[in-house]
Amino acid sequence: MIDDLMIALMFCSEGAVHRTVAEVVRFVEERIKGEDGKESRSLRGPYLARLELIHRLRERGCPEESLLGDPLELMVQFFGKFGDKPCCITDLKIYLHLLSPDQHVQFVNRLSEAVPLGERGEEGFAFPDDTKALQRHLCVCQLSRALGLHHALDVDGKLRLIAELKAHYRHGLKFGKNALKTELQFSDMYCLMAAHVYIDLWKETGDENMVWQGLGVLQEACGGPLLQPGCKHVQHDTIGFLLTRYAESLGQFAAASQSCNFSLRFFHSNQKDTSEYIIQAYKYGAFEKIPEFIALRNRLNQSLHFAQVRTERMLLDLFLEADIVLSLEESVKAMSLSAEEDDIPWDNMRDNRDLTVFTSWDPKERELTDEHRRQSLEEESVWLRIRSLTLRLLASLAGSGHTPSQQNSEIANENGVGDKSSILSGLLSQLNQTLQTANQIAEKRIQYPFLGPPSTRLAPALSSGSCQCQAAALQLSVHLQELDTVGLDESTELQTQICNAFKSLVVQLQEILNKCKGDLLDMKEGKLKTWPSLLENLIFFVETVCIVLWMASHCAKILRPLKTSLQKKKKKKKKDANTALPVVVCGFQELTGSLQDLLTQALEHIKGQETGITALKLASLSLDEYPQDEASFMKAAMDKVQSSYLRSLQEAGDLLKKRAETIKNLKI
C-alpha cells in the first residue's frame, strides 16, 4: 500500500514532485532487502511493487526502469518465493506483458526448473510429491496458457497437453482423499484447463467430439450427480444472467420460471430490506451507512438483469397461461400490466453483470475488452426493449375490443379510453424503430470471447423471422380498430387488406416452422452431433404462434358483433339471408384453419423428434478409442444432453397442444 502510494505521488500531475524516480527506486529496493533478510515468510507487496514500478516507468518511457533489473529474472525470483501460493498466477499474469515474445518459452523453462517433480512414469510424465510442488507445477501451466503457448500448439501438441493435464489431475486426487464432496480438490484446475484446451481444439478443427470429451472431463471432476445450480443474494444480480439466458430459449419453461422467480424474490425483498436498514441506521445514529444502503437499493432497482427477468417472467406467464388458464385480459390485469407506462429506467440502466466470472488463463489478446462490454450492453438493451414493447403491445391488445356504439365515444374519451389508439400506434412505431436498430446490430455479427458474455436471442430471433412475424401480428390490431370503427358495410378495401395480412402471417409462420425442421440430435459414423439452433427456432415458433393466436382471438371479438350487426341490418332490409359472408369473415375462417394445420405440423414434427431421440442408441457410439473410464464419463454427459432435449420437446409439445385447443374458441 505504501509502495503504491509512493509511486502514485511520483507520477501525480498536481503540485510539485516530492520524490525523484531514483528515490522511489531506492525506497522499493530497500523494502525488498528487508524482506529478503527476514527468516519468516516474506511479504509479496514489495516484490510486486517493483514490477508495478517497471510497468509504469516503461509506460512513460522512463530509462530508469533498467535500474530495477530484468523483468524475467524478477518474475522468476518471485515464483521461487511464492510459486506454491494459488495467488501467484494472478500476481504475475498482469505483468507478463513486460516480457518480449522471444522470452516466453525461456521464462516457462526457467520456472519449470524450479518445480520439484519425481521420476517420469510409464506415460512419460513426472508428478509432484506434495501439494506445494503441485501448486508450482499448476502455476507454470497457467502462465504458459496466459502467454499463448497452449494456443500455439498444433493439434497433436494440444492432445498431448490434454493427456498430461488429465494425468496430473488424477495423480493429484490422492492429496485430497479426505476432502468433503463440496470442497475443491487440489488438482481440479488441471481438469478445467484440459476442458479449455478441448474447446480450443473444437474451435480449431470443428470436431464436435472435442466438446464431448471436454464435457466428459468436467463430468469426471464433478465426481457425482450435480446439484441444481443456484445463486445467493446479490449473485442473482451479478451472475443470474447465466441461469436465465438459455432456459426459456431452449424450451425449459419450468426451469426458466423457477430461475426468474428466485431472481425476482431477491430484487423485491431488497426493496423492503434496504428500507429497514436505512431506518435502523437512522435510529442508531449510523448515518454514514445510509448513503451505502441507498446506493445499493438504486443499483438493484436500476439493474439491467432486474428489468430482464421482470419482463421475461411476465411474457413467460402469458405464453404458458393466457387464454389457457385465464383469458389474456384477465392475465394482463392480474399482472397490473399497463400499455401506457414504461417502468424500465432506460436512462439510468446499470449493467451489474460479472462478465469475468469464468476462470480463464487466456492471453490478453483473447480476453474480454471494454468494447465487447459496450457491445454486449447495447445488444442486451435492444433485445430488452423489443421484449418490453411486445409485452406492452399485448397489454394494449388485451385492453382494446369492440366498441358497442358510437354514443359512448364522448364518455370513453373523457375516461381516457379514446386515447388507446394513439398509444397503440406509438408503441408500434417504437417497435419498428427498435427492430431497425436490431437489424443493424445483427449485421455486425459480433463475436464475443468464448468465456465472455453470452449473445442474446436477438440475431436468431431476426434470422428465424420471429420478430418480424410478431410485429406484423401486432400491427394488424390497428387495422382491426379501423374496421371496428367503419363497420363491414363500406370497408371492402380494408377487409381485403386485413385478409392479405392474415395470409402473410400464415406464410411467415410456415417459414419459421420450416427452419425448425431437421434432427436435433443425429449420429453419423459413430459420432453424436447436436443442432441447438433448430430447437431455438422451434421455441421462436411457439412464442410467435401464441401471439398470432391472441391477435386472432382479438379479431374474433371484433368480428362477432360486427357480423351480428350486419345480419340484423340485412333482416330489416329484407335482403336474401343467403348473402355471401363478408370478405374478412371468410379470410378469418381460412386463418383459423391454417393455424390449426400449422399446429398439427409442429406437433407431428415434435413427436417425430421425440421418437427419434428416444430411439437413439447411445450404446452404438464409437467410443472404443477412449479409455473405459473416460468413455463412461462422455456417455454420462451425452445422456444428460439427450434427456434435456427430450424435456424441451415435451414442454414445447404440451404448450402447443393447449394452444391448439384454444382455436376451437375462435369461431364467429
| pLDDT at 263 (0 to 100) | 92
Q: How many C-beta atoms surround the C-beta of residue 557 within 10 A?
A: 17
Question: What separation, in Å, do the N-terminal and C-terminal C-alpha atoms of the chain show?
Answer: 78
Identity (one letter) of the amino acid at 398? Answer: A
How far is it, in rounded angstroms, from Cα 296 to Cα 302? 10
Q: How many C-beta atoms surround the C-beta of residue 368 within 10 A?
A: 18
What are the cell numbers at 265? 424474490
Q: Where is 521: in which H helix or E strand?
A: strand 521-524
Please list, in sequence order, all residues whose beta carbon lies within 8 angstroms of the beta carbon of residue 172, skipping any fewer than 6 positions away: 128, 134, 185, 186, 187, 190
Residues of the chain with pLDDT under 70: 1-18, 224-230, 401-418, 570-579, 618-620, 622
What are the cell numbers at 645? 432435449
| pLDDT at 317 (0 to 100) | 96
Q: Is 527 helix (H, G, I), strand (E, B) or coil?
A: strand
Structural domain boundaries of the chain?
2-160+169-181, 463-668
- Phi then psi dihedrals of residue 509, to 5 deg: -65, -40
CA dihedral in degrees (373, 207, 365, 147; nearest 10)?
A: 140
What are the cell numbers at 521? 440430435
Query: What is the value of pTM for the model shown?
Result: 0.91
Give residue-wise pLDDT tens across range 263-289.
999 998 888 888 888 888 888 888 888
Residue of 309, 306, 284, 288 lying closest to 297 (CA atoms):
306
Burial of residue 233, with CB atoms counted within 10 A of its CB: 0-12 exposed, 13-18 middle, 19 or more buried: exposed
Question: Hey, which residues does 523 pair with through a beta bridge?
Answer: 528
| pLDDT at 273 (0 to 100) | 84
Residue of 105, 247, 338, 225 lying closest to 637 (CA atoms):
225
Q: Are 20 and 31 in contact (CB under 8 A)?
A: no
Secondary structure (DSSP) of 309-358: HHHHHHHHHHHHHBTTTB-HHHHHHHTT--SS---S-GGG-B----TT-S
| pLDDT at 408 (0 to 100) | 43
How far is it, in rounded angstroms, from Cα 140 to Cα 366? 19
Q: Are 458 and 441 in contact (CB under 8 A)?
A: yes
Q: Is 525 helix (H, G, I), strand (E, B) or coil?
A: coil
* DSSP state for residue 375 in the 8-state scheme: H
| pLDDT at 537 (0 to 100) | 98
* DSSP state for residue 579 in the 8-state scheme: P
Give residue-wise pLDDT tens across range 302-341.
999 999 999 999 999 999 999 998 999 999 999 999 999 9
How far is it, in rounded angstroms, from Cα 631 to Cα 460? 34
Grid cell 479409455 — which residue?
627
| pLDDT at 410 (0 to 100) | 47
